[in-house]
């Protein structure tokens, strides 16, 4: 009897809570329809790192994970695939991207490019799925790990390149653009190999 009463009480409580949530939900919908200036939010928005280096590390880490998904999705027999004969293969696009990460990364951080003078796209031993993935991930780690040893003030330092004094932060932006541009191209390589590419992560 006691236990049955307790169950009933739980059931009633559950109904009450559920009704309360529904009301909140309806209220939010109604508020949403009216487009208020400050709509109530169920969950707080995710917080962005306060410092620029922290933000850059977050973005490069997202970029790294996204590129990893591309590498994972391409089957081994697609690594040498080219949509037309005169362009880079999938592996060569990824190695070009990695070379860019090292080049721009060294300009941003002042660290020596470990592949200085080498063209990764010509190194056939890197054109297996395992070696390719390793090299490309290492190139992102080169940027990310060296960024972590910098501070916001160093980002504004200028270094000479192409007849200009350019802020280190600008090389970071260009390096980001470079890898986005080449990863973007490989989206179509995946499609042409019958693979649905990874969605854009925000």
Residue of 111, 133, 166, 168 interacting with another protein (CB under 8 A) = 166
Residue 133: Cβ within 10 Å count: 17
First to last CA, the chain: 54
92 touching another protein, by CB under 8 A: no
180 touching another protein, by CB under 8 A: yes
Q: Which of 72/177 has CB closer to another protein?
A: 177
14-42 burial code (b ≥16 CB/10 A, e <16): eeeeeeeeeeeeeeeeeeeeeeeeeeeee
Non-local CB neighbours of 182 within 8 Å, separated by 6+ positions: 93, 94, 96, 97, 100
Q: Which of 5/202 has CB closer to another protein?
A: 202
Q: At what angle do helices 52-73 and 90-109 cross, to 10 degrees?
A: 170
83 touching another protein, by CB under 8 A: yes
CB 108 → another protein: shortest distance, Å? 14
Q: Which helix or strand (DSSP H or E) is residue 11 part of?
A: helix 2-34
Residue of 43, 77, 151, 153 interacting with another protein (CB under 8 A) = 43
What's the CA gap between 116 and 122, in Å, rounded? Answer: 14
59 touching another protein, by CB under 8 A: yes
170 touching another protein, by CB under 8 A: yes
Q: Which of 140/176 has CB closer to another protein?
A: 176
Binding site for another protein (CB under 8 A): 41, 43, 45-48, 55, 59, 83-84, 86-87, 158, 162-167, 170, 173-174, 176-178, 180-185, 187-189, 191-192, 200, 202
């Amino acid at each position: 009897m006691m236990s049955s009463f307790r169950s009933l009480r739980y059931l009633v409580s559950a109904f009450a809570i559920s009704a309360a949530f529904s009301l909140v939900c309806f209220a939010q919908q109604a508020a949403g329809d009216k487009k208020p200036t400050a709509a109530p939010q169920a969950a707080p928005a995710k917080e962005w790192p306060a410092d620029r280096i922290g933000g850059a590390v977050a973005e490069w880490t997202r970029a790294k994970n996204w590129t990893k998904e591309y590498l994972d999705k391409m089957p081994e027999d697609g690594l040498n695939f080219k949509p037309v004969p005169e362009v880079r293969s999938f592996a060569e696009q990824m190695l070009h991207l990695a070379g860019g990460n090292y080049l721009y990364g060294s300009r941003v951080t002042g660290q020596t490019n470990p592949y200085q003078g080498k063209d990764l796209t010509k190194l056939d031993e890197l054109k297996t799925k395992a070696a390719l993935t390793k090299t490309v991930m290492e190139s992102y780690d080169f940027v990310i790990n060296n960024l972590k040893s910098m501070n916001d003030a160093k980002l504004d330092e200028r270094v000479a390149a192409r007849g200009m004094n350019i802020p280190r932060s600008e090389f970071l932006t260009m390096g980001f653009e470079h890898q986005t541009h080449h990863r973007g191209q490989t989206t179509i390589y995946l499609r042409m190999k019958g693979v649905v590419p990874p969605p854009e992560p925000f």
